[in-house]
Amino acid sequence: MCGRFTLTDIQEALRVVAPFVKDIPSDIPARYNVAPTQPVAVIPNYEEPKLDFFLWGLIPSWSKDAKIASRLINARGETVAEKPSFRAAYKRRRCLILTDGFYEWIKMPGETRKTPHYIQMESKAPFAFAGLWEIWHSPEGDEIRTCTIITTEPNEMVAKLHNRMPVILDKKDYDLWLDPEEKTQQDLGHLIKPYPAVEMMHYPVSTLVNSPANDVPETIVPA
C-alpha cells in the first residue's frame, strides 16, 4: 500500500509533471508527511487540467458515510476496473497525484518495531501517482472531492520493503491518463505496472514520520 508521502516543492513538481498548469498559488507549504484524509495536490482530468486539492481517501458517490474514506486510500490495480468502489472513477475520473517521495516500513531482524524508509527517484525529481477521484455530496449538501492512489505489485527494490507499491506513471502516459473521455481496461490496463527499480532509491529515516503530526523536514533526513 501507500500510506504516507511527501510533496516538498509543489512549484518544482508542477514544472516537471504538469508544466501546462497555469495560475499556481505561491503560498502552498512544503509537505513532508502527507497522511490519509488530508488534502493532497492533484491534477484531475478536467476538460482544462488544473491544480486542485482533494481529500485523500475515496468516498464513492453512492456511499452513505464519509468514514469509508479511511479504508479507500488505495485501490488495487488488479481489480480497480471491477470493484464497485472504483470502477466508475477508473472509467471517467482519473488524476495525477503530485509527489516527490513516499514511505514504507520494514521490520529488521532483532528489532521490535518497524523502520521507515523514504523512497524517491534516483534523480530526486518529482513524479506522479496514478489516482482516481470522486465527488460526494454530504447529507448537509456539501460537495466533497476525494481521491485514491492505485497500487500494484512492487518492483525488485520496493519488494524488499513491502508487497505493494503505488503506480507511478511515466510522463509519456500522462495525456492518456488525463483524457476526460471514458476509458476501458483495454485502454488503461497496460499503465498499471511497477515503475522500473533502476530509476529509484530508498534509505531509512527517523520514526518521527510515524506520527502525522510530524510534518517536518527531519522526516526525510537519512537515519
Total domains in the fold of the chain: 1
pLDDT at 27: 84
CATH code of 189's domain: 3.90.1680.10
Strands (E), 17-156: 31-34, 39-44, 52-56, 74-76, 94-99, 101-106, 115-121, 127-137, 143-152
- Rounded mean pLDDT of 79-106? 98
- Rounded mean pLDDT of 128-150? 96
Q: Containing domain of residue 111, as a range?
A: 5-220
pLDDT bucket at 22, cuts 50 / 70 / 90: confident
Q: Which of 12, 78, 82, 104 is catalytic?
A: 104
Residues written for the chain: 223
Is 80 exceeded by the pLDDT of residue 23? no
Cα distance between residue 61 and residue 102, in whole Å: 28
pLDDT at 29: 94
Q: Is 2 noted as a catalytic residue in this protein?
A: yes
Interval 204-221: pLDDT, tens:
999 999 999 999 999 999
Instruction: Using alpha carbons, select from 46, 223, 222, 218 the residue that is nearest to residue 145.
Output: 46
The mean of the pLDDT values for the chain is 96
Q: Which of 2, 95, 134, 147 is catalytic?
A: 2
Instruction: Using alpha carbons, select from 16, 93, 19 the residue that is nearest to residue 50.
Output: 19
Q: Is 143 noted as a catalytic residue in this protein?
A: no
pLDDT at 107: 85
Higher pLDDT, 27 or 86: 86
Interval 182-197: pLDDT, tens:
999 999 999 999 999 9
